[in-house]
Amino acid sequence: MGNTKSGALSKEILDDLKLNTRYTEEELCAWYATFLKECPTGRITKEQFEGIYASFFPDADPTAYARHVFRSFDTNADGTLDFKEYIVALHLTSSGKTMRKLEWAFALYDVDGNGTISKNEVQEIVRSIFNMIPIEDQKNLPEGEDTPEKRADKIWNFFGKKEDDKIGEGEFIQGVMENKDILRLIQFDEPKKIQEKLKEKKH
């Protein structure tokens, strides 16, 4: 990571990101320049990451969700993300391939990192996603999904689990891939909003 603090993005990181995300070299270089302006150390802290999410969702409270997203990408648990981790986080949460996205979603829901998901963990993440929906929009949600508890119950019941059961990664990914309704409930997906914000930041 010797090049991370210099003004130019290393070819190795650039090639890796072009391969693993949909972003162009021009976009990545522009974001890197912005990233370095806001994070001169070449690393972004949890607080800065939460601030970015707050700017994406001014009408809601994304703090808890941003914290969980940050945790799921801070693989070495040092409390910061480098540029590569940051871009992969934005890519996967907005436009990643389904399989990789679901692997990440499992890590997001596995709050304690023990390799399985409990109902409490589902409730915690679903609540953080629910907080990102503006209050006005919450009023228009279907009756069976208009509270975090109802949403968590719907997900848990889909997997046919008892209260204190656990869900493993393979079972989670297979179940979600087979049911679009559950896929919709487990994620917060507003790619257009995120992409538009990122484009604004470049100019």
Looking at residue 188, its pLDDT comes to 65
Whether residue 173 contacts residue 106, with contact meaning beta carbons closer than 8 Å, is answered with yes
Q: Where are the alpha helices (DSSP H) in 159-190?
A: 169-177, 180-186
- Give which of 151, 185, 165, 181 is closest to 118, Cα–Cα: 165
pLDDT for the residue numbered 192: 44
Q: In whole numbers, what is the pLDDT of the chain averaged over residues?
A: 85
Could you tell me how far CA 93 lies from the centroid of its own chain? 4
> CA 112, 166, 174: angle at the middle one, nearest 5?
100
Task: Give pLDDT tens digits for 84-125.
Answer: 988 888 787 766 667 888 898 999 999 999 999 999 999 999
Q: How far apart are CA 81 and CA 64, in angstroms?
A: 17
Rounded to whole angstroms, the Cα distance separating 27 from 43 reads 19
User: Which pLDDT value is given to residue 56?
Assistant: 79
pLDDT digits (tens, 9 = 90+) for 11-28: 999 999 998 888 899 999
Q: How many CB atoms lie within 10 A of CB 203?
A: 6
Residue 163 has pLDDT above 50, yes or no: yes
User: What is the structure's pLDDT at 151?
Assistant: 92
Mean local confidence (pLDDT), 34-38 = 88
Q: What is the pLDDT of residue 1?
A: 41
Predicted confidence at residue 26, as pLDDT, reads 92
Q: Which of left, alpha, beta for 46 (phi over 0: left; psi -120 to 50: alpha)?
A: alpha
- Give per-residue pLDDT as tens, 175-199: 988 888 888 888 765 544 444 555 5
For the entire predicted model, the pTM comes to 0.79
| Confidence at residue 200, expressed as pLDDT on a 0 to 100 scale | 55
